[in-house]
Each structure stands twice: as C-alpha cells, then as structure tokens.
C-alpha cells in the first residue's frame, strides 16, 4: 500500500493547532518508530462523519484530526467537509438550530480561521451550539468557540489554545545509513528546513515568526468569539481544561453530557421556531434591523418568540404617533413613544418579553402600573419569591435595582 508522500509536507515545518501528543504520533510515524502504513488509509466505519438531522436540529460531526484537504492520512476530517455540511444546514429552512458534535485534538492551522469566521458570522442567522464530546482542543476548540454556546461533560476537555511546529533533523540517521545529501540552490532561504541538515538559526527565526503570527490570530479569534479579553486567553498558556474548570475560566458555558446537552438544546426549539434568550434576541434584532429594510423579518422573528401579534408593537408605535398629532403636541408624541420603549425595556430586563404586547396596547396603563404588572406576572410564573436579579452572579450580588424601584412605586399606589 503506497503512502501519500504529500502528508509530511503538510505536517512538518508549518504551524499546527494540535495537542503535543498528536505531534508525537506524527513524529513516530515519520521517523519509522511506528508503522507508518497504519497511519494511512485508516477508516473506522463505526464513527459516522455524516451530518444528521434530529427534530429540526442539524448535528455536524467534527471528529479526529482536522486537515485543510484530505490526504489519505488518518486525519481525514477536512475543513471543506465541515464547511459544506454547515452551509447545507444554514441554507435549509427546515433546520432551525445547528450543533457541532466535537471530538478532536485539532489539526492544521491552514484553512481553519476562514471556517471559524464563517461560522461566527452566521450566528445571526441560526442558533449554533458546540458540544465537546469528549475533546474540543486547539484547532477543534477554535471551531467550538465560534458557536453561541459550548457544552462539555464532566470529563471532556477544551482549550490547548496554542500553536506548534516541528522540524525533523535526520542528518544523524543519514550518516548511520551511510547516506549524504547535497543540495544546490539559489536564494538564501531556499534550503531552509531541510531534513538532512540541522536547522539554521535564520530558519528557526522564520519559523518562530510564523508561529507567533498564527498564535496571535488564534487568541484574537477566540477572544472575539467568547467575548473575553485577549490577555485572559493568553494567560491560559495553551492549558487544557476539563468540566467545570473550563466553565469557570470562560472557555465553556455548561457542564452536561452529550445527551443532556441535546435535551437542553431541543427544549429551546418550539413548533414555531426558536426560543431566544434576551441577549440572543437583542443580537439578532440589531443584526437584522440595519437601515430598516428588513422590518418584515424582524416582525416575523418577534412572532416566533411568542408574541401573539408581533405587528401590534409596530401598530402601537403608529398609534402613539397619531395620538400625539391629534393633540397637536410634539411632546405628546415623544412621551407616547417613550412609553412603548420603556415597557419593552422593562419586559426584556425581567425576562418577560411575551407580556409586552398586552401592556403596550393598554393605553390607560402607566409606566408605574406596568412595572407592577410585570412583577406580578413574573412571580406567578415562577415558584421563587423574588424576581431573579439581572446582575451577574459573579458580580455584586445586590438585588436588581429594577425590582426595588418597582416595589417602591407599587407601595406608593396603595
């Protein structure tokens, strides 16, 4: 069986986004301490790498070593494969959510960032999730980071945000075999990285520059995707994090098994579309609204989120303008519009966007009364005695100022 001689040129003297044990495996194969034939044309038919669809959710596998193209190597999942599956899922109107099922230690740096950028920019089109099942490391983590949220099990690993390259100097082996290679070249750097000579200092500096450049691209990409600071990403120093540790440092969002994660994702998919959290709704609206040319899509999105008549919000705004004009007072129009905006804001903060419709259309309802009704609706929806604060649990832990203000105003009305 003939091996693909193109593989070593893709794996040596070039930036790789893989774990060091994967690099060691490559070196063992290429330096003859491991049967290299076993590394080619390997195919485990028990591992499916085909996209599947379950309850309007596309599940895209990202498994094993990752390459820019297929080379007949054990690394046989390509970025092109992943991209084709992803585009198919994005373009299929029946698919409401996309999930990346990841079990990979990474792969080539070549081609990964373009794929990651495409996934990241598609967040506004459909919700995207990644599940580390069980490894999402290095290049594979770059893909995972492009998702809206990352799940991992208690034993799963994420991270290894670093770049590595290897040069093999086999001049001693050549000498042992009684072989000597002489290169004749033009251009000072043409013979850099030859395996038959020790690595020169100038070639080493060139390699370091390439590694550093790719590393900067890696950390900048993850920082953007995860909304973290670049220094925080660099401070991981390519460490691998498991389970809750990954969540605590910000590289993942929830610790759940694959099955539990899928149940959590499925619970967000309703018969009418996708349930969005307030932050996701805001992100989607900002992306779609633009110059106002996509108003129809925004109205449809609001309808999918549970509004009985999404266009009633638009009607309420129009009605508010009309009332202001009838009164002949410009200030009246501003106040009416302000009322609509403030009620929407209060409902979003309380996590009750679905009741904004009825509050807005009740023109006799004051802002103070609306606050009271929001509090009452929230209390009846939950078994908890207080509305949950919107302050992050890692922040001050103080009671939501909206709740305090609403209670104070409600008490005055009594």
pLDDT (0 to 100) of residue 186: 93
Report which DSSP code applies to 353.
G
Q: How confident is the model at residue 192 (pLDDT cuts 50, 70, 90)?
A: confident
Residues 42 and 163 in one domain: yes
Q: Residues 65-103: pLDDT tens digits?
A: 898 876 656 667 899 999 999 999 999 999 999 999 999
Domain boundary among 232, 247, 264: 264
Task: Output the domain CATH number for residue 115.
Answer: 3.90.226.10
| Residue ranges making up the domain that contains 129 | 7-264
Q: How confident is the model at residue 323 (pLDDT cuts 50, 70, 90)?
A: low
Question: What are the DSSP calls for 186-206, one per residue?
Answer: SSTTTTTT-TTSPPPHHHHHH
pLDDT (0 to 100) of residue 72: 57
Residues 251 and 366 in one domain: no
Residues 310 and 244 in one domain: no
User: In this structure, are residues 51 and 82 in contact, taking their beta carbons and an 8 Å threshold?
Assistant: no
- Asked if residue 385 is part of any domain, the answer here is yes
Q: Which residue has the higher pLDDT, 113 or 300?
A: 113
pLDDT (0 to 100) of residue 230: 98
The percentage of the chain sitting over the pLDDT mark of 90, rounded to a whole number, equals 39
Helix/strand/coil for 306: coil
- Asked if residue 136 is part of any domain, the answer here is yes
Among the listed residues 369, 356, 375, 371, the one whose alpha carbon sits nearest the alpha carbon of residue 316: 356
Q: How confident is the model at residue 3 (pLDDT cuts 50, 70, 90)?
A: very low
Q: Residues 6-26: pLDDT tens digits?
A: 455 667 767 889 888 777 776
- Asked if residue 289 is part of any domain, the answer here is no
User: In this structure, are residues 97 and 137 in contact, taking their beta carbons and an 8 Å threshold?
Assistant: no
Domain count, the chain: 2
User: In this structure, are residues 378 and 387 in contact, taking their beta carbons and an 8 Å threshold?
Assistant: yes
β-strands 52-54, 57-63: how paired? antiparallel
Residues 123 and 230 in one domain: yes
The percentage of the chain sitting over the pLDDT mark of 70, rounded to a whole number, equals 66
Residues 224 and 344 in one domain: no
Mean per-residue pLDDT, 197-223: 93
Could you tell me the pTM of the whole model?
Answer: 0.62
Residues 327 and 251 in one domain: no
- Asked if residue 377 is part of any domain, the answer here is yes
Strand partners, 94: none
Strand partners, 157: 135, 242
Residues 348 and 207 in one domain: no
- Asked if residue 204 is part of any domain, the answer here is yes
- Asked if residue 294 is part of any domain, the answer here is no
pLDDT (0 to 100) of residue 179: 86
pLDDT (0 to 100) of residue 390: 42
Residues 317 and 254 in one domain: no
Q: Which residue has the higher pLDDT, 11 or 189?
A: 189
- Asked if residue 271 is part of any domain, the answer here is no
pLDDT for 394 beyond 60: no
Q: Residues 358-379: pLDDT tens digits?
A: 888 787 888 888 888 888 887 7
Residue 131 parent element (H or E)? strand 128-137
Residues 236 and 377 in one domain: no
Residues 211 and 313 in one domain: no
pLDDT for 396 beyond 50: no
- Mean pLDDT is lowest, of 35-49, 152-166, 252-266, 374-388, for 35-49
Residues 93 and 164 in one domain: yes
Residues 380 and 236 in one domain: no
- Mean pLDDT is lowest, of 99-113, 164-178, 232-246, for 164-178
Q: Residues 312-321: pLDDT tens digits?
A: 555 655 665 6
> Alpha-carbon distance 292 to 66, whole Å?
41
> Alpha-carbon distance 84 to 136, whole Å?
20
- Asked if residue 321 is part of any domain, the answer here is yes
């Amino acid at each position: 069986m003939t091996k693909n001689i193109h593989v070593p040129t893709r794996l040596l003297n070039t930036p790789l986004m893989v774990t060091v044990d994967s690099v060691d495996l490559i070196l063992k194969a290429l330096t003859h301490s491991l049967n290299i034939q076993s590394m080619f044309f390997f195919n485990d038919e028990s591992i499916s790498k085909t996209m599947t669809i379950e309850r309007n959710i596309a599940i895209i596998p990202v498994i094993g070593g990752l390459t820019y193209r297929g080379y007949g190597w054990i690394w046989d999942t390509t970025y092109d494969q992943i991209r084709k599956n992803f585009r198919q899922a994005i373009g299929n109107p029946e698919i409401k959510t996309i999930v990346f099922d990841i079990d990979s230690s990474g792969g080539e740096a070549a081609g990964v960032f373009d794929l990651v950028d495409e996934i990241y920019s598609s967040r506004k089109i459909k919700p995207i999730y990644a599940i580390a099942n069980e490894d999402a490391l290095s290049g594979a983590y770059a893909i995972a980071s492009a998702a809206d949220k990352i799940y991992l099990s208690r034993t799963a690993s994420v991270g290894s945000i670093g770049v590595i390259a290897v040069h093999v100097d086999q001049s001693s082996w050549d000498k042992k075999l009684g072989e000597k290679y002489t290169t004749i070249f033009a251009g000072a750097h043409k013979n850099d990285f030859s395996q038959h000579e020790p690595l020169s200092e100038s070639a080493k500096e060139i390699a370091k520059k390439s590694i550093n450049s790719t590393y900067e691209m890696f950390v900048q990409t993850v920082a953007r995707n995860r909304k973290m600071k670049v220094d925080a990403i660099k401070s991981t120093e390519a460490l691998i994090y498991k389970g809750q540790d990954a969540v605590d440092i910000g590289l993942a969002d929830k610790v759940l098994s694959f099955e539990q994660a899928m149940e959590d994702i499925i619970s967000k998919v309703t018969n009418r579309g996708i349930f969005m959290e307030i932050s996701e709704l805001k992100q989607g609206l900002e992306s779609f609204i633009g110059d106002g040319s996509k108003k129809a899509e925004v109205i449809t999105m609001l309808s999918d989120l549970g509004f009985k008549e999404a266009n009633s919000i638009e009607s309420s705004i129009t009605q508010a303008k009309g009332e202001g004009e009838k009164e002949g007072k410009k200030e009246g129009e501003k106040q009416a519009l302000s009322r609509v905006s403030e009620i929407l804001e209060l409902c979003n903060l309380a996590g009750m966007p679905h009741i904004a419709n009825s509050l807005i259309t009740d023109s006799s309802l004051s802002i103070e009364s609306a606050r009271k009704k929001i509090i009452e609706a929230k209390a009846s929806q939950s078994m908890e005695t207080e509305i949950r604060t919107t302050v992050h649990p890692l922040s001050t832990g103080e009671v939501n100022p909206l709740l305090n203000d609403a209670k104070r105003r409600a008490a005055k009305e009594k």
